[in-house]
Amino acid sequence: MINLDLRQGILASLSDLEAGDLVLVGLSGGADSLSLLKCALHVGSERTISVGAVIIDHQLQAESANTSNRVAGIARELGADPVLVINVDVAKGPSSGGMEAAARNARRIAFNNVLTEHKAKAILLGHTLEDQGETVLLGLARGSGARSLSGMRAKEGIYRRPFLGITRQIVRDEVADLDVFEDPHNSDLKYSRVRVRNLVLPVMETQLGPGVTQALARSADLLRDDADALDALARFEITRVGDDVNLLGALPRAIRTRVIRQLAITNGCPINDLTRDHVLAVDALLTNWHGQGALNLPGAVSVERRHERLTFTKDK
């Protein structure tokens, strides 16, 4: 038997799947993802859903290949099929999110490719309640808006997070008898998330009282509802106002900036490269017009105010 909360989390995550479907667990070898694999295999056998594992080797450590192969062996012993080890190249050099963001992007590309190749229905990820709290706190430290502060979704495209509302301790208790391989990066204080996890949140729990992590996760749920509503209003306004600068400028700022962001993405701006500074610069063409020239946006896209229209152009 497995913990009831973990079981319910898996059942909810797989509720829309059918017998014979395949899901893949993103497996690092750490306690959270091993617990997820163990529980998913248990529930999958009841639902006749196939459960495999995909291990992403970022090749950032000398022993990463050996670790990946050992984790793959544990996955096979637990009964996962298929068990896949995927090597990825993490982009070097400066980026807006540093090495963490580069590794995350490499994982996502690999997950998308393997999902398509093996006709899997979803990738299961082992994020816990604490991961959600850390995400919200990091967003607050960056001065992020409602969408970023809404944290991670339990279901988001191809990704499912069955344990997002469950504490890390409950998750890890499930695999107390298994060998786990914790990524050394998870204890390296040069990473902001590690500092939040090991230094900041413990102090907050001590000084403000227990329950801070749960409160942060609850705030994420509330903000997600608000952000979803604002995004829906923005989608409606796009169909109503189009690129008319006067109609756009009359929108409330929270809606207007979302409309600008969506227009930019629709016209070719990469979603992950479009920053708030870019959006605010475009907004100034509407609300602080004094003859500015064209603005350059990511993805070789430019935008200008021309004949009372907001005109986007993408270089070929």
Q: Are residues 14 and 135 in the same domain?
A: yes
Q: Are residues 194 and 249 in the same domain?
A: no
276: CATH? 3.30.465
Contact between 91 and 102 (Cβ < 8 Å): yes
3-state class of 41 per DSSP?
helix
Which residue in the block uniquely carries the two structure tokens 């090749």? 59
Which residue in the block uniquely carries the two structure tokens 């989390």? 9
Would you say residue 215 lies in a domain?
no
User: Looking at residue 99, what is its pLDDT?
Assistant: 73
Would you say residue 230 lies in a domain?
no
User: Looking at residue 95, what is its pLDDT?
Assistant: 52
- pLDDT confidence of 1, banded at 50, 70, 90? confident
Would you say residue 222 lies in a domain?
no
3-state class of 255 per DSSP?
helix
Q: Are residues 272 and 188 in the same domain?
A: no
Would you say residue 197 lies in a domain?
yes
Q: Are residues 195 and 286 in the same domain?
A: no
The string of pLDDT tens digits covering residues 289-304 is 999 999 999 999 999 9
Q: What is the DSSP letter of 291?
A: S
Q: Among candidates 246, 237, 249, 253, which has minimal Cα distance to 308?
A: 246
Residues 6+ apart with CB under 8 A from 190: none
Q: What CA dihedral angle connects 196, 202, 9 and 72, to 10 degrees? A: 60
142: CATH? 3.40.50.620
The string of pLDDT tens digits covering residues 52-73 is 999 998 877 778 889 899 999 9
Q: Are residues 139 and 267 in the same domain?
A: no
Would you say residue 218 lies in a domain?
no
Q: Which residue(s) pair with 295 in the sheet?
A: 303
Domain encompassing residue 197? 4-208
Contact between 219 and 135 (Cβ < 8 Å): no
- pLDDT confidence of 96, banded at 50, 70, 90? low
Q: Are residues 27 and 131 in the same domain?
A: yes
Q: Are residues 173 and 110 in the same domain?
A: yes
Percent of the chain with pLDDT strictly greater than 90: 83
pTM passes above 0.85: yes
Alpha-carbon Rg for the chain in angstroms:
22
Contact between 103 and 60 (Cβ < 8 Å): yes
Q: Are residues 203 and 255 in the same domain?
A: no
Q: Are residues 16 and 141 in the same domain?
A: yes
